[in-house]
Amino acid sequence: MTEQVRLTVNGVPRDVEVEPRRLLVQTLREDLGLTGTHVGCDTSQCGACTVHLDGRAVKSCTVLAIQADGHVVTTIEGMAPDGGLHAIQAAFWAKHGLQCGFCTPGMIMSAADLLESNPDPTDDEIRHAIEGNICRCTGYHNIVAAIREAASTLRAGTDVPAAANA
């Protein structure tokens, strides 16, 4: 038994046929080939699968694909659709906010959600906002620095996308 689901993913309408038990993260990764969203656990703890559903961060391992029917999904691949970098992506690069890179997409999506609602967070607010995203490589120090820098860039309105290969 499958269900027809229509999602708008990174601005593009996508129709997929899914089993009712299929998770949004499986649909993104396996049906739509968007493998930037990762699976790091099986208990909704690690946050590697964080995407935006109608503009808010959700753990896509905890959303069924059929629940997302008719909704708008943004993944890491949609953060800077023109091949450039979103200010948060640029800041993670500049501040060495990643090492193995596995948690990074989810971390960036959580950071984007934070900065949408709180453009000038304190370090404590940043640390609290990414509490649902586990990083085992960085000790969070440089992730916090990256989000702080991204907030500053976004507030200054100088979000000129840099080329990804610059």
Partner 1 sequence: MTTDVLGSPVKRVEDPRFITGKGRYLDDIQMTGMTYMAILRSPYANANIRSIDTSAAKAMPGVILVLTGADVPYNPLPMAWPAGGSSGVQNNINMPRALATDDVKWTGEGVAAVIAETPEQAADAVEVVHVDWEPLPAVVDTEGATQPGAPQLHENAPNNVVFVWTVGDKAGTDAAVDAAEVVVRQRIVNQRLIPNPMEVRGDIGLYNPGTDEYTVWMSSQTPHIQRLLLTAFVTGIPEHKVRCISPDVGGAFGTKIFCYADMALVMLASKLIGGRPVKWVETRRENYQSTTHGRDHVTYLEIAGKRDGEVTGLRVKTYANLGGRLSTIGPGVPTTLYARVLAGCYKIPNVYCEVTGVYTNTTFVDAYRGAGRPEATYVIERAMDLFAAEIGMDRAAVRRKNFIAPDAFPYDNPSGLGTAVNGEKIYIDSGNYEPALNKALMTVGYDDLDKAKAEARTRGKHLGLGLSTYIEVCGVAPSKWIGAVGEGWGAAMWESANLKVHLTGKVILTMGTQPQGQGHETTYSQIIASELGLAMDDIIVQHSDTLGTPFGYGSYGSRTSSVGSTAAIKAAGKVREKARRYAAHMLEASVDDIEVVGAEYRVKGSPEKKKTLQEIAFALDLGFSLPEGMEPYLDETAYHDTPNCTWPFGTHIAVVEVDEDTGKVDLVRYVAVDDVGNKINPMIVDGQLHGGIAQGVGQALWEEAIYGDDGQLLSGSMLDYALPRASWMPNLELDETVTPSPVNPIGVKGVGEAGTIASTAAVANAVIDALKPFGVRHLDMPFTAPKVWRAMQSQEVRS
Closer residue to partner 1, CB minimum distance, 7 or 108? 108
161 binds partner 1 (CB under 8 A): no
Give the x-and-dash track for 2-21 against partner 1 (CB under 8 A): -----------------x-x
Beta-bridged to residue 5, according to DSSP, are: 16
The string of DSSP letters for 138-164 reads STTHHHHHHHHHHHHHHHHT---PPBT
Residues 6+ apart with CB under 8 A from 149: 91, 94, 95
- Rounded to a whole number of angstroms, the minimum distance from the CB of residue 128 to partner 1 is 5
Give the x-and-dash track for 87-126 against partner 1 (CB under 8 A): --x--xxx-x-xxxxxxxx--x--------------xx-x
Name the segment binding partner 1 (CB under 8 A); options: 29-37, 52-60, 114-122, 153-161. Answer: 29-37
- Rounded to a whole number of angstroms, the minimum distance from the CB of residue 64 to partner 1 is 14
Please name which of 155, 91, 157 lies closest in space to residue 120, comparing C-alpha atoms: 155
**Rounded (5°) CA angle 139-42-100:** 35
Closer residue to partner 1, CB minimum distance, 56 or 96? 96
CA distance 95 to 38: 22
Closer residue to partner 1, CB minimum distance, 15 or 42? 42
CA distance 21 to 158: 43
CA distance 78 to 108: 12
Site for partner 1 in 38-77 (CB under 8 A): 38-43, 45-46, 48, 75-77
- Rounded to a whole number of angstroms, the minimum distance from the CB of residue 137 to partner 1 is 5
